[in-house]
A and B are shown apart, each in its own frame.
Chain A
C-alpha cells in the first residue's frame, strides 16, 4: 500500500482568530486581542495573576520586565517558584486553541511553561492557521530541539470525570493575539 497524500488544508473558519478564541475558551483558556505590545503590557499588568504574583518570569521585556533572572538560570529547578511566565508563541491554531511554543527561545529553561503557576502567551504578530494541517505544513524539524502545542491550562478529569483546571502545570493560560 502506498503512502497516501495528506490534506494540505481542512475545514475553514470565517474568522480564524475568533474561532481560536472560542476553541481556547472551550478548553479553559482565555484569548485577548491587542493592537500592539504596549497594549499587551497594560493588559498583563492588570491581570489578577500578575498583580498577585511575587515571581514573574518574562521572556518578552516589552511586555513585562519580570523579576526572575532567566539568563542566569542554569538549573531548571530554580524555576519551581515562578508564579507567572510570559513568553512568545509562534502561531495559533483556530480549530483547537493551541499555540506553538518553540523550545529554542526557552533553551535550558524548557520547564518554564510547565512549572509556572500561570502562563501568558503572546503571539505577535497575530498569526492564526485554521487547522493542524497548515500548522505542520510550516513546522520544520531539521535538527535537535523541543516544541510544544499548548492548548489552554493544565487539566485533569481523572476523579469521576470532574474537570479540574490546574493538574500539574499552569492553572491559567491567557493568550494575547497582537495586531
Chain B
C-alpha cells in the first residue's frame, strides 16, 4: 500500500482498541522473567560455548605483536580468533570503525580478539592471558582543539556542507535592538541501556542463526552479511526482546560478529556478551557539541535573526551531531543561519543516541530562548508564543501539517501553576532550598519508513501478526496488537504478535521515533489485504464488509470471522510505502516541558521537585505506553541536564568513566512523580494511523527546562552541561 494522500475515515478511527490505555501484552512475560533477551536463548542454542572479547588498550596505532598461545593453552579454551585468523572481513554500511580491529587500531577498546571457552569463567580468565604489544600513534582527542580547523559538514548526504541560510542573518543581527550571543557545550553521552550488547551465534552448515539485541533487524542482518562476506539470505537474525537501545543498538556491533566468528572457529554455538566496562568505549556514544547561538529581536519580542552553529567530532568518515536541525523550524524569523562543523577525533565512534541532533541542540537553543526572554523582559512562555510559526520559515508555502506548540505551552503553564514563578531569579525559597521553575519547548520531526507485515487468520479465529519490527521498551508488541485487533474487529486477546525475526517481513525497525507510526501502518496495510481476503472467502463485497465484535457483517448477513479460515488459514503480506506528503507538509511533533527544582543554598545540590510535559504527536495509540515513553525520556533528560558526561582522557583517548558507577544516570531518588498530558489530536497527513512518534519528543528540550529552572532558582547561568553543583556553588546567593 502506498500512502500518498491524507487519510480519510478508516477502521482505526473507531478507537475501540487503538487509543485505549491497555496494559502491555508482553507485561506478564517481562515481569516474571519469562521474556528471553539476547543471551538467554539456551533452548534454541543448547550447549553454547562462551566468548569473551579482548579490547585494544590504545586509542590509535598498530598492534606490533600479539601472543595468544597462553590463552589458547588455558583450561577450557576452544578457540581464539583475531583479525589475522578471521581473514578478510567487510565493514557494514552503518559502521564507521571496523568491528574487529588489528593490526590497525581505530579507537580504544576496539575489539581485537575473542576467546572462546567451555565456560564464561574460563573464557574471561583466558582473555586476560592474551598479550599484546602496540605501537601507539598520535591521536586527536581534544574536541575544542580539533574544531579550530574543522571543516563545515552537512547533516545529510544529499546536501552540500555549507551553512544553511535564509535572508541575511548578519545584517539583521547587527541591526537588532536586542541581542544574545552565547556559547553552550554538551558532553559525550552514553546510551547506557540496561541490557549489555549480547549475541548467540549458531551455524548450521553455511547458514547462520543469530540471537542478538538490535533495534533494526534488516540493517543488522545486512551488515553482518557484509562483514562476514556471505549472502544475507543465509543469516537469520533475531531480537524478540531488546533490553533498551536508545540508538546504541541501531547498528550491528561486535558481539554479533565475534559470536559468529567464534562459533565458526569452535564448531559449536557461541554466546558473547560485552562486559559493562568494555562496552562504553567499544560501542557508540552521543558526540559532545560546542554550540554558538545568536538571536536578534525587536523590543516587542519578535525574532528577526537567529543563528545556530554547532561543532562535534567523530572518527574519519564519521558523521556530525546535527544539533542545529530544530533551529531551522522551531521559531519564526526572517533571517536565519545554521551550520555544522565536524572535526576528526580518534575517540570511540560517535553516532545516534535518542533524538540525535535535537537532544543536545534543544539543550542549548531552549536555554538561549530563556536568556533572550529575560533580556527582553518577557515571560519565557510568552516569548516562545510570540515567535510561533505555522509554516517552514525557509519555505513559507510549506505548512506544518499540525502544530499546536502554543496550546502545549499554554496548557502546561496552566497545569503547572506557572504564574507562581517569580521572573526574578533566586527569590523563592523553601527552607534550605532555593526553588526555581523552568520551561522549554519540545520539538522533533516525524519520519516514516517503509514497513511490512504478514498477517494470518487461523482456523481458531486468532489473528497473528509477523513483522521484523522490534520492541525496545516502546510498546510495539501492544500497539501492533491493538492495530490488528481494531482492523479485524477483534478483542486484543485474539491477536498474537511475533516480532524481531528476519524471517518476517522487513519493517521500519525502531529508531528516530519512526517505529510506532511506521510499523503500525505496515500492519494496517496487511490487515486491509486480510479484510479483502476474508470478504472474498465469505463472498462479501469488501467495500461494505464491517469487521466488528469478532464478526464480519455485510448488509443483513453476518458471519464469524473465524469462518473465513475454515477452509484453511488465510495469510497475506503487505508493506506500507510513503508518497511525498512529508514534502508538501512539514510533519513534526511538539510539546512543552515544565520543571521545578530545588537547589540547596548551602551545598548547591540540585533536586528535581516536579515535572510536567504536554505533548502533541497526532493520535496516541496507547496512552499508557506512550506516557511511559515520555516519562522515560524526561528522566533521560534529567540525566543529560544534571549528571551525564563521558569524561574524555585527552592524553590517551578514551572515556574514563566507562561503567555504571562512573557514568551516572538518574536513579529512583532523583525522579519525582512525573506528569504527562497529550493533546487529543489526529494528523491525517502522516499515515492511516494518524499517529506520530513520541519516543524522542519527550527528551527534546527537557534538559533545558531543568537548566532554566536551576537558573531561576539561583540566578547563576551555567551553559556547560551537565549542570553540576561545582559549576554554580561559588556564585550562589550569599547565605545570611
The answer to whether A binds B is: no
Enumerate chain A interface residues (CB-CB to B < 8 A): none
